[in-house]
Structure 1
């Protein structure tokens, strides 16, 4: 074991230059390396997981109830546009996440292990980029997911409530608050690694409700009382044009992660090659769930598809009550896991600010500020979710402003700046073109998303019940 030296700001660990250390990137060209860990890295990003655990974390961070909005994105894009965009987004994100992993491995081998997205930005782009762009962008994306968690869970709870009490008086914001209270307890789980079994359950549940949603759509589509379907795109030319970019933003959001470095940081040494295996697990789930939900949902309802396919399944009243309750329970539990995993990067930031790495993780000095900061963040997120239940619109906005830069642009920039491929090479121009095309989508998608929020805001009110 190494020697631990205490100071006022960090824990410094001197480790011997073992072979596994070298492969994990703790060791530079000297015989030993000094690895400084702040409280966030020390307590939240513990490097104890296997490649299979990383697969669970990746799946939960990417595959969530947002996939139930995919039929709606097809409504905006049409059959061809929907399938092409869904496929391309999957290929590009799988590629970009592997680029991020390769950059992390490279810097680790050079003796500079990066455990956070803002660490990568600081080392590759400079400290100002980390402080004023990447750090705030990632925080906004993660906190946005935390806002969406109680909102989606509240919608599922309300669906269940309506099934048994069609004339009930409880409002959506009350169910959102209930989910927020449950999230408040789960938020106290100390680290990424402590979520590994919960995230395995999450992986199973996302497959379960995807199959249920697809089966329900197919059943309704073949029913004698099936709705009249049309696959034409609604609206005038302006509405259709903005709808295309809104649909692209929604799809980009369903593939979004934004926490790849943090997940890779949880893998125990040796790290090399493990992230690729975890991504393969994740994308096997994606290939299964995304396409069956998107295609079956759009096939069954066409251009009357709602913002989430569950609204269509509930609205037709053709499925048995037990089936709808079961599906919504799957969604409810899984969205709690999604919410908690996106709490971890914000928790890590709070730990860095308020915790003392020279004290024990569960000492009173660290437990009290941890309890206060995590609880306040969940309370604020729940309040915002209850006040502004524009889920599909918010998803599109997050996709444009947050997900596309973090998942489609920065990985390409980081790779080109780190490895400096020849400017005449295919990989250089491929990465550059992806980054440029994605940058255009950020601007147009953001405008389309804000426009849709402005339009829908006319029909919404604070603490709306729909």
Structure 2
């Protein structure tokens, strides 16, 4: 009786199935539907700019009020240099593991190995281009408004003196550092790099260059013009300084309206970007990877779960009235360790540079200094919130 042998085609098909990379076999609905790898380096630039150049930058003059001119500008420069360096290190670590066959799509994938209705992240590229333009627009408005008020007789008397109380001054400095860390913060570098079409080598560096060109133009202009105009009276949100104590506008009302409109529109894009990790978790939990991405089985749970997440986040944001203080807390507990400490630690653990090499000790120094800053900044942020909580109420119109 003749035995049946598989055809050459069948053998190759079986071999292909047996040699599918482990990560591809384990791809869940979150990775399949949200983290699509189709983007170019310019798209990563749009994503990076939207995730970093956000309305939090409008708190920079408030941070300067506790730091003064020299320290404020120095902190901005250090923040820009260290985060650019850290994000590039994270990109190199991701590229290295991708070459080894372990492509990390999420931050938790990296940690595991080394230690709201938009379907996918890649589909946000056009929205994030608009977001980039909007960030330039409201930053230009904030800068122009500050210069206009500072040059007119309507503005407050310029006072750049720091608090005479040593305790208040010290805690204020670390609170300000945490605010600056928040403005530079980006906790979704792996998710952004996951949107790049292979080969990814060098694309994130170009994207970072696009992002930081916009960042330098916006951060420094808003921080310097706002602090110049309002000094130590700078509010947690610089747009609040465009009204006097009686609520009268110091610039044309239409100008305030258009600035707020630009800010809200760009904030919508920022929210969608930062919802992508949440969306990925929701898709992994509720979606069926065997069904079509736009099938009824997946669309209905997606619509309900993402809508609920947006409603909950918006309610919490509206409930908390102190914008600058919340920025400081997020920076201290989240962005300082995530963006200043972990990237250099991951680089040293992945590439294992010689302990005699300058890069090893540079990374160790960055991790040590910013870890210490994070602890002190966390105490300062909680202290400031407890002080301001006495004068604010939930859902306050401030």
What TM-score, normalized to structure 2?
Answer: 0.92
CA separation of 1:15 and 1:435: change in aligned 2, threshold 3 A: farther
Counterpart pick for 1:192 among 110, 121, 144: 121
Q: For residues 385 and 94 of structure 1, what CA distance do their matches in structure 2 show?
A: 28
Q: Distance between the aligned counterparts of 2:59 and 2:282, measured in 1? A: 32
Deviation at 1:390, TM superposition (A): 2.0
Worse overlay, 205-214 or 307-316 = 307-316
Superposed, which structure 2 residues align to 1:39-438 within 5 Å? 39-125=29-115, 187-234=116-163, 236-315=165-244, 317-438=249-370
Instruction: Give 1:389 deviation, angstroms.
Output: 2.0
Distance 1:77 1:258 in 2: 26
Q: CA–CA distance in 2 between the matches of 1:380 and 1:322?
A: 31
- SS of corresponding position for 2:243: helix
Partner of 2:12: none
Check conservation: 1:192, 1:266, Cα contact below 8 A.
Answer: yes
Q: Does the aligned pair in 2 maintain the 1:314–1:324 contact within 8 Å?
A: no
Greater than 4 Å deviation, 4+ residue runs: none
2:398 aligned with 1:460, yes or no? Answer: no
Q: Alignment partner of 2:104: what SS?
A: coil
Question: For the pair shown, which has the larger CA radius of gyration, 1 or 2?
Answer: 2
Matched residue SS, 2:291: coil
For 2:59 and 2:249, how far apart are their aligned partners in 1?
Answer: 20
What is the match of residue 378 of structure 2?
446
CA shift, 1:225, in A, is 3.2
Aligned partners of 2:135 and 2:318: how far apart in 1? Answer: 24
Contact 2:36 2:122 in 1 (8 A): yes
Give the direction of change, closer, same or farther, for the CA distance of 1:235–1:361 in structure 2 (3 Å limit): farther
Please list the CA deviations of residues 26-59 of structure 1 after superposition, one character each: whole Å capped at 9, or x if unmatched.
xxxx986452311111100000111111100000
Unpaired runs of at least 5, structure 2: 1-8, 10-14
Structure 1 alignment gaps of length 5 or more:
4-13, 17-29, 126-186
The alignment partner of 1:402 has SS state of helix
The equivalent residue for 1:7 is: none
> Structure 1's 414 and 15: CA in aligned 2 closer, same or farther, altered over 3 A?
farther
1:22 corresponding residue in structure 2: none
CA deviation profile, 1:115-155 (whole Å, cap 9, x unmatched): 11000000000xxxxxxxxxxxxxxxxxxxxxxxxxxxxxx
Find the aligned partners of 2:222 and 2:353 in 1 and give their Cα distance.
Answer: 39
Deviation at 1:263, TM superposition (A): 0.1
2:321 touches 2:393 (CA, 8 Å); kept in 1? no
- Give aligned pairs, total: 380
The separation in 1 between residues aligned to 2:307 and 2:252, in whole angstroms, is: 38
Per-residue deviation at 1:226?
3.1
Bigger Cα displacement from structure 2, 304-313 vs 224-233: 224-233
- Partner deviation per Cα, 1:333-372 (whole Å, 9 max, x = no partner): 1111111110111110111122221111111222222122
8 Å Cα contact 1:234/1:303 also seen in 2: no
Cα distance in structure 2, aligned partners of 1:265 and 1:223 = 49
Please tell me the root mean square deviation across aligned C-alpha atoms, in Å: 1.7
